[in-house]
Amino acid sequence: MLKDFLKKFCRKYKIYYFCQSKPNQERKIMKKFYLFLGLILIYSLLSIAMNNKISKERLEGKWNVKVTNAPGGYQDYVIDINENDGEYKADIFFVEANSKMFNQKLMLKDGKLTGDVVVDNEKVELTIWEEKGVVQGTAKSYSIGTLLMTFTRSKN
């Protein structure tokens, strides 16, 4: 079935080199075809794997963050992320509560930025990543659970 398809394809697009019927020529054609498909598969998998990793240039700067289902006063943030010698730090501004946290340490691990912050005497685990060109994250605490964070680039 694949052999017939390749023959029709070669005739249609006038690729006579592949359509010659020498001994073992069909095997060579099939090997080239499978090699080509394998290379495309490897390239696709690598580009998918690399696409989920967040880049330094994409991450640095000010971000407006909305946390869905967070308690009042903790739904809107401005996070300023900076990198210096491989060390990430974030300044976090609570918009509604009018409070600030400076130099919160974050680590880049497996293409995701992670770190712990303390909000109202409770540890909150932050995870930030980029998926399909959109920066997003989660905030996980013991009392509330896991909340989704959406990031938009700040205009300031």
Q: What is the arithmetic mean of pLDDT over 4-29?
A: 66
Evaluate if residue 32 carries a pLDDT over 80: no
The reported pTM is: 0.61
For 93-115, give one letter per residue: b (16+ CB within 10 A) or e: bbeeeeeeeeebebebeeebbbb
56-110 residue pLDDT tens? 566 788 988 988 888 777 788 888 888 888 788 888 888 776 778 888 888 888 7
